[in-house]
Amino acid sequence: MSNYYAISRIEALENAMFSKAKLQALIGALKVEQEEKILSENGYKNGKSLEEKIAANQGETIEFLIENCSSLELKAFFLIKRDFTALKRILKSILLDTPLGQLPQGNIKVEELKEKILKNFIITIEPLNSKLVEVCVAECFDAYEKHIGNIIDIRVDKAQFEMVDILAKKSKVPLFQEYAKREIFYKNLKMLCRVRLEPTFKKVCEYGWIEGGHFSQFEWQKFVDYDESKLDKIFEMQTLHIKESYVLMKVGKFKPFERAVEAEWEERVRQSKLSSSSDEKILAYSFAKEFEYRSLKRVIIGKRMGVSHETLLKNLRGQYA
């Protein structure tokens, strides 16, 4: 597909996304039927629950992204994200006895994957590194059997982002390189601050340090035992946003940290709308859809929990669309 045509399609899809005005209309809807109508008019037609509607929309979006991007690394990245979402849910279903729910159909066949995990924990997922996934699954079961705690999220993220880091280093898309580096850094930073606040979390963290980014896995492990002044000095040498994030997290303010990181990344992605590269715009659109899914969940779940319309409106940030 030509660069011009791909960019034109992306711009058309961007215009169909949930704007701030559309989200305000969703917040103001008084009946479930009105919510359903608004969701349906904006591309969320399939599925009964919000989770199912989002999963269906994710599947459609991924198909579009893979069809239209020219970068092999980005195609693999989109498949990896979908496959590891499925892997995480399947592991939680088996080990934590939670409902499986609707899974995005990715590079893997979900039932085959579940069967292989249950039988022998050996998985072959092409074009992914099956050994990394095999070790990931084995360690999740091992930690569960040893009653170490729920390591599924951090252990699956470790395998996923180590693969993403390899792809990003091969890629010529700046936004992709930036994404891999920052995600690895912030995931490791959050674990570091959490384990220093909750020493009992140390055993869980040993499964989750991600290789790549600003510091090596070995350096992150050493940071756990550093005294505060030494650690402060290390992060004082980083960018302003990293310093601010560290200051928030080291005293346990994880929610404000996450909101600040989200806002920073949303602004960076919005800037990519101006790119002349179709792959950069396609990647930016994929992240923009994630912002949309997150906003929809916050609005719908917030309404179900009785959060006031004023509070929901106040927490709406500027949308990508």
- Number of CB atoms found within 10 A of residue 127's CB: 13
Q: Which domain holds residue 36?
A: 1-67+277-321
d(CA 56, CA 43): 10
Q: Is residue 34 part of a domain?
A: yes
d(CA 46, CA 56): 6
Q: Is residue 51 part of a domain?
A: yes
pLDDT by 10s per residue, the chain, length 321:
556 777 788 888 888 888 888 888 998 888 888 888 888 888 888 888 777 888 788 888 888 888 888 888 998 898 888 888 888 888 888 888 877 666 655 556 666 666 666 655 544 445 456 778 888 888 998 898 898 988 999 999 999 999 999 999 999 999 999 999 999 999 999 999 999 999 889 999 999 999 987 888 999 999 999 999 999 998 888 888 888 888 889 888 888 888 888 888 888 898 887 777 888 999 999 999 988 988 888 888 888 888 888 888 877 765 555
d(CA 41, CA 109): 30
Q: Name, in order, each residue with C-beta under 8 angstroms of 82's C-beta and a sequence gap of 6 or more.
A: 58, 59, 62, 104, 105, 106, 107
Looking at residue 147, what DSSP letter applies? T
Question: What is the length of the chain?
Answer: 321
Q: What are the angstrom distances between the C-alpha of 18 and each of 32, 85, 192, 234, 304?
A: 18, 23, 36, 41, 20
SS3 109: coil
The sign of the CA dihedral 105, 109, 112, 116 is negative
Q: What are phi and psi of 242, to 5 degrees?
A: -65, -40
What's the predicted TM-score (pTM) here? 0.84
Q: Is residue 29 part of a domain?
A: yes
Total domains, the chain: 1
Q: Is residue 117 part of a domain?
A: no
Q: Is residue 45 part of a domain?
A: yes
